[in-house]
Amino acid sequence: MIALVRLTARGAARHARAQAGRHRERLVARRREPGPFTATYAATKAYVTCFSESLHEEVRGSGVTVQALLPGFTRTEFQEVAGVDPGIVPGFAWMSPEQVVEASLAALGRGDAVCIPGAGNRLLGGLTGLAPRASHAGCWAPSREGTCASANAGCRLRD
């Protein structure tokens, strides 16, 4: 996170002097959900989102735009490199990199502080925001049976 802050500060200072520029932080769509075995990852996402939203307000009116980009599942080589089977995610949930970039640029043009591309991703983000925070952590922790570790979460990760 130190590198993020230092690089952002350098870029923001340059953009402020020019009175124009766009800065984007790319994250994943589930930005506020904690989860077991992902404590650092989840906390970093929350930090970067908050940092980006705060910076967006600090530079408002200066000609500089800051955005937190929170795409959902995007078809890239990431899944292969990470050893993740993309087949566990339904086809409709995926977006192409081009779709993500198009949505981000449109949101930057509107001056949005946060961009969550795709209606499904926005719906999921809204629904998880309504759920009790305690249910988030249990929902993303598969038990031995492949269901949520929390009996109250009521979701199923795999069939």
Catalytic residues: 41
The 10 Å Cβ neighbour count of residue 60 is 13
Which CA distances in Å does 145 have to 7, 27, 89, 111? 44, 30, 19, 45
CA separation for the pair 124, 117 (Å, rounded): 11
> Dihedral sign, CA of 11, 62, 113, 134?
positive
Alpha carbon 2 to chain centroid distance?
Answer: 19
Tokens of 69: 């980009």
Torsion of Cα atoms, 80 then 24 then 110 then 31, to 10°: 60
